[in-house]
């Protein structure tokens, strides 16, 4: 089963009969599918790398889909639970380093101050949501612009509160 090149190398004395026979056996093994183990290891390694890359891409795709799903849920919660903003009293709050303002009536102002209502950013403006809708948004990773009812998780505030308890403020003090 020698090919013409092997015959020529053998006649020219550049290869020995054992070398030609070994090369012929190797070619026969490759044709029969009995490739050396190194080739199989490389193929397995390539398959494993491809599978890992596919898993990583799928995980990234799933994470993006989950993020879009959560954003859609937040928008739906805002749309279904928002309270109509009406009134002529300005209610000012900080957002994005600036003081923003919405016009509310006295009832909405009291609810905002007590924490029963929460201000969230919606479209190009703001929306008012009841406390339970705001909690649903928090569960989905959303944030509110203004929430008087949510206690800050800062430990420094607790230390400050202890310090300022020493100073008594008169009840009749009006700011």
Give the tens place of pLDDT for each residue, 48-64: 999 999 999 999 999 99
Percent of the chain beyond pLDDT 70? 88
Question: At residue 43, does pLDDT exceed 70?
Answer: yes
SS3 3: coil
Q: pTM of the prediction?
A: 0.56
Confidence of residue 65 (pLDDT cuts 50, 70, 90): very high
| Nearest C-alpha neighbor of 81 from the set 18, 24, 1, 144 | 144
Question: At residue 130, does pLDDT exceed 70?
Answer: yes
Question: At residue 37, does pLDDT exceed 60?
Answer: no
Give the pLDDT of residue 14.
80
Confidence of residue 24 (pLDDT cuts 50, 70, 90): confident
Question: At residue 167, does pLDDT exceed 90?
Answer: no
Helix axes 131-139, 37-81, angle to 10 degrees: 170
Question: At residue 169, does pLDDT exceed 60?
Answer: yes
DSSP state of 165: T
User: For residue 99, what are the β-bridge partners?
Assistant: 94
């Amino acid at each position: 089963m020698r090919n013409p090149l092997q015959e020529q190398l053998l006649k020219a004395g550049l290869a020995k009969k054992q070398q030609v026979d070994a090369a012929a056996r190797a070619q026969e093994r490759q044709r029969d599918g009995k490739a050396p183990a190194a080739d199989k290891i490389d193929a397995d390694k390539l398959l494993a790398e491809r599978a890992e890359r596919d898993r990583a891409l799928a995980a990234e795709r799933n994470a993006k889909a989950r993020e879009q799903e959560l954003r859609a849920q937040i928008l739906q919660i805002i749309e279904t639970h928002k309270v109509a903003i009406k009134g002529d009293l300005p209610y000012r709050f900080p957002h994005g380093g600036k003081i923003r303002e919405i016009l509310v009536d006295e009832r909405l102002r009291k609810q905002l101050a007590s924490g029963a209502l929460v201000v969230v950013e919606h479209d190009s403006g703001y929306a008012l949501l009841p406390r339970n809708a705001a909690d649903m948004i928090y569960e989905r990773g959303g944030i509110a612009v203004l929430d008087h009812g949510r206690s800050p998780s800062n430990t420094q505030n607790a230390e400050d509160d202890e310090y300022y308890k020493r100073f008594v403020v008169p009840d009749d003090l009006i700011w």
